Structure 1
Amino acid sequence: MSPPELVDLRAIESAREVIAGRVHRTPLLSSAAAAATIRQATGVRLADDRLYLKAEHLQKTGSFKPRGMTARVAALNAAERERGIVTVSAGNAAQGYAYAGAALGVPVTVVMPAAAVRSKVEAAAGYGARVVLEGNTMDETFAALDRIREEEGLLYCHPFDDPLVVAGHGSVGLEVLDDLPEIDVAVVGIGGGGLISGVAAALKERRPRVRVFGVEPIGSEAVTLALAAGKPVPIQPSSVADGLNAPFAGELTLAMIQVYVDEVVLVDDATILAGLRFALARLKQVVEPAGAAALGATLAGRIRIRDGERVAVVLSGGNVEVTRLGELIGRVAPLPA
């Protein structure tokens, strides 16, 4: 099998034009408190004495997903739009496709695990999608997807391993460069790899000196295992960061990560939840565990940063089950005082 064609800067710029006006241009926040915490952990002083934070948790549906999903749905022809689409997701991709389908008049079916976060299920349905809850494992959920697709003749739209999805997500990187043109380091959470693939390509093609770090949860390290094996490896993911619990890396996303990402770091759930607590207590921002993974790793000193570098972290989502916040905060790891 020939390697997949990588998503280039032109595709990302085109996708940005397609989704403009349909998704938010999210702000780039900054935090002196976060920079001080990193200095305590590593001895490194960040440029401007601030850590920059791309606020994708403030995006429509509460995560970055509508960027790529809107780009994908907008490319459907008339016959495909009439058929309708089906996808599979633990939550945020479901909401992203549901939102895009509603905005563009395309029927959407999303297949989610039986134990999917209830607020994400309700949100996907609220955006107009038909939600099917099935499967105690991702294998079972994907089997349900295949059955529904065949029975109903729906078009399958991948939650992350699709060039249009990656290109749409790459608009995050373009916006970061617009707001922070002298960025040195970007840190992005990884599930299936769609977000980091697009962001890294946008950043590196415009500013090759940028170093891009990915963060994966221990227990859901689909990309780390794929990098070691040189090909996607199926796993049974298990992490508090349900939005990063991809059952495999994509063929396309793996190829892009191999080219554009400098390093992938593994962190435990307690470190991820420390990022969530810091965002809530010091940044006054509500993020979900998946959205806090990159922040938690950076605050804990897990990212190789040099003195004087400008660092941006992507807060990728804010769809946390609010009734579980107390429980989640109680499981955090200590950060430097």
Structure 2
Amino acid sequence: MSNTSRNATRIESIEWLRGIASLGICIVHIFFTLNYFDSQDVFYQRYFRYFQEMGRFWVPMFFVISGFIITYSLDKKNYSLKAYPVFWVRRIIRIQIPYIASLVIAIGSLYIYSVVSTTETPSFSLKNLLLNAIYGNVFLDSPWINPVAWTLFIEIQFYSLIGLIVPLIRGNKVIHTLTLWLGLLICLRFTAYEGTERFLPFYFDVFMAGILSFKRYRGLISRSSFAIQMGIVLVLIAMIHGKAYALASTLAILVILTNYQIPLKSLYRLGQLSYSLYLIHWTLGVEILRNWFTLTYPASGPVLKSLAGIGILGICLAFAALFYQWIEKPAIALARRVAL
């Protein structure tokens, strides 16, 4: 194990953790959604069942990472409330340009696929596209064009909140502790209502695990205080979201705080591509490539399906690299031009 100094400006463990989480989500969707494998198949039970059961690990890891890294990056910049508009613009540019590009690509690709494969043409309207672009479909029960985008809506809500409370978190110890716990208690009040899983309060406990990790990393709370508060948060996560969420959150916290660096450089590159892979894998990997395979080879067995899934995963990774280079990377550069 190799630990970097606490004064380091880069926490490299977050890069490869992002990569693993993104790859995990991609694998779960390509191999296990929409009954790709027969759950009663012996091959599935022997080799794949446990991978599917790990499907609930990956999203909470992303939420913990966001809770930590956004707070951490703002703290490094000595962020104050007067910079909130600039912070918001930078995050919107960074997130929305690739997301909207993925929507346009999704619509075009699915339309072409429907023509080539003679399947039913997707009924995408301009109204639905605009609603998806601003997440308005959540409020009007309009379908997602890219189903994985529900997490982006949660993340954007978190960005809106964290920009307001970071100055309090960095201030007086009593104030920042009360701020976080008051926020969590308010959020817990809303988790009892139906439909709240579409909004930040339902997941604030997971983000708070990341925020508490930041506070410990920066020495803003003692080890004993961190252990007590984090223990309570993890119990709440287990009660609200299940044991898988709590375990995934715990693993993410340990990786971040130890800043463990692994020798596999490819995972750091995968972390760099994680957002691009996340955005494109459902449309390309599941709705186009996997559907094409199942339509073309309807009688294929589990071994052939497994090999096809591996090939689809490779294509998604290659396309994610192109998407990052042509779309996400320029969006990052544009966001950085907005001074914080």
Which structure would you say has the larger Rg? 2
TM-score by length of 2: 0.24
Higher relative contact order (CA 8 A, sep 6+): 2
Which structure has more helix as a fraction of its residues? 2
Which structure has more strand as a fraction of its residues? 1
